[in-house]
Each structure stands twice: as C-alpha cells, then as structure tokens.
Amino acid sequence: MLIKATRLRASAGAGALARHLSDADDNEAVEIVQGAIADLDDAVADARRFGRSYSLRHFIIAPQVEMDRRQFHDVVGMLGAEFGFDPATPLIVAHTKARAVADVAAQHWHVVVPETDPATGRVLSSRFDHARHEKVARQVEILFGHPIVAGAHDLAVLAAL
C-alpha cells in the first residue's frame, strides 16, 4: 500500500486540488465519500486567518489489493490517530481508474484534512511524516493481509512498530 501526503500552501488556495478531485475526465469514476469540495476553501480561509503557511494536507491512499469501505475508513482512523485529526472531518474522494502498474487496485482515495484547527489555530503534526505514512501503510498491510511493500523508511518503521 502506498500512502503519501502533500501540504498545500495557503497562498495557493484550493482551486487546483478541487479540480483534480472532481476530474471525471481522468478517472472512470469519482465519488465524494465524505465532506464537500467547498470545505477546502473554508480550510484555506482558516489558515490565512491564523497566519499559517499551509492550509490543507492531501493524503493519497493507493492499495495494491482492493479494499472495502469499512477497511478504508479504518485506514483514515489510523491516519487520524497518527497525525492528530478527527477522521470525521476530512473530505474523502474515491477515484477509480485503470492503473499504469499491473497488480495494483483500480480504486484509490484522496483524504484532505485542514492543516489548521479552525477554533484553536493548532497545526497538524508533520514531523517525520514520510516515515509515519509508511508506518501506517505497513500496519494496514499486516492488519488486512495485504502484500508488504518495502519503503525508504523501513528501519524507522520497524523501530516504531
């Protein structure tokens, strides 16, 4: 399983990400599972109000093996526990399309979380984020019996687990 994330700058706004998430031309199917695209603009406004550099955290979850909706929500819960967000708050979009790599699931998910808490101004943790993405991915692979994917941070993940 691949889990990666990018942080979007507040100065850039949410337009490009909103277009990508909604793009039905590049995907066979686009489904908004939770939240609304308009939530992205609210997160950008909150980050700007608190003077934060980043407004959104965009996680991409791409499993090798097809996952059902319950399993996927378990993954979002694990990411929430790892990075400090409520799994009920993100915008979640499912994309289905033929993959360029063989033996990879056709569906992948986008989970977009506000970087800034709108009430407190607190920012999501981003320390050692690549290793933490891999840690959650390895936990999910073990939990659901998926093939284990080697990553660049295997030693750190092993130490954390």
Convert the pLDDT of each residue in 67-118 to its tens digit.
888 999 999 999 999 999 999 999 999 998 876 666 678 888 999 999 999 9
Poorest-pLDDT segment among 111-120, 126-135, 142-151: 142-151
Yes or no: say if 135 and 161 are a contact pair by the CB < 8 Å rule. Answer: yes
DSSP one-letter code for 26? S
Tokens 């686009």, located at residue: 30
Q: Report pTM.
A: 0.88
Burial of 108 (0-12, 13-18, 19+ CB in 10 A): buried
* CB proximity list for 67: less than 8 A, separation 6 or greater: 75, 105, 107, 144
